[in-house]
Amino acid sequence: MGAVCYYVAAALHSFISCFSLFMQRASSSHHVHRNLTDGFTQLPLDHKDIEIQRPYDVPESARYSFVNGVHKMWVYSSDKPHSKNSRTNPRTELAIKGYDYSSGVRQFEAQGFVPRDTSGVCVMQIFGASHLRATTLMITTNKGSLSYYRSPVLAPNIWNRWFKLNVIHDVDASTVKIYIDGIFVHEAAGHRGASHAFKCGVYS
Q: What is the CATH number of the domain that holds 72?
A: 2.60.120.200
Question: What 3-state DSSP class applies to 126?
Answer: strand
Amino acid at 125: Q
Evaluate if residue 8 carries a pLDDT over 70: no
* 18-22, 99-103, 199-203: range with highest mean pLDDT: 99-103
Q: What confidence tier does 69 reach under pLDDT thresholds 50, 70, 90?
A: low
Average pLDDT for 43-61: 90
Instruction: Give 15's pLDDT tier (boundaries 50, 70, 90).
Output: low
Residues 6+ away with beta carbon under 8 Å from 109: 19, 20, 21, 22, 36, 37, 164, 165, 166, 167
The rounded percent of the chain whose pLDDT value lies above 70 is 84
Is a pLDDT exceeding 50 seen at residue 7? no
Range of 118's domain? 3-203
Q: E strands of the chain, at which residues?
A: 3-7, 13-23, 41-43, 50-53, 64-67, 70-73, 91-96, 105-113, 121-127, 135-142, 145-148, 153-155, 162-170, 175-180, 183-189, 197-203
Cα distances from 16 to residues 43, 93, 125, 131, 201, in angstroms, run 18, 12, 13, 30, 8
**What is the chain's mean pLDDT, rounded?**
83
Structural domain count of the chain: 1
171 pLDDT more than 70: yes
Q: What is the pLDDT of residue 13?
A: 42
9 pLDDT higher than 50: no
Do the beta carbons of residue 16 and residue 94 sit within 8 Å?
A: no
Higher pLDDT among residues 186 and 3, named by residue = 186
Alpha-carbon gap, residue 134 to 126, rounded angstroms: 9
Task: State mean pLDDT over 172-192.
Answer: 94
- Of 75 and 90, the structure prediction assigns the larger pLDDT to 90
Q: What is the DSSP letter of 144?
A: T
Mean pLDDT across the stretch 170-188?
Answer: 95
What's the average model confidence in pLDDT over 69-95? 85
* Mean pLDDT, range 150-179, rounded to an integer: 93
Rounded to whole angstroms, the Cα distance separating 166 from 34 reads 12
User: φ, ψ for residue 61 (rounded to 5)?
Assistant: -65, -15
- Given this model, what pLDDT does residue 66 score? 78
Q: Could you give phi then psi for residue 49, rounded to 5 degrees?
A: -95, 5
> What is the mean predicted confidence (pLDDT) over 113-127?
84
Dist CA 164 CA 91 (whole Å): 23
Judged against a pLDDT cut of 60, whether residue 127 lies above it is answered with yes
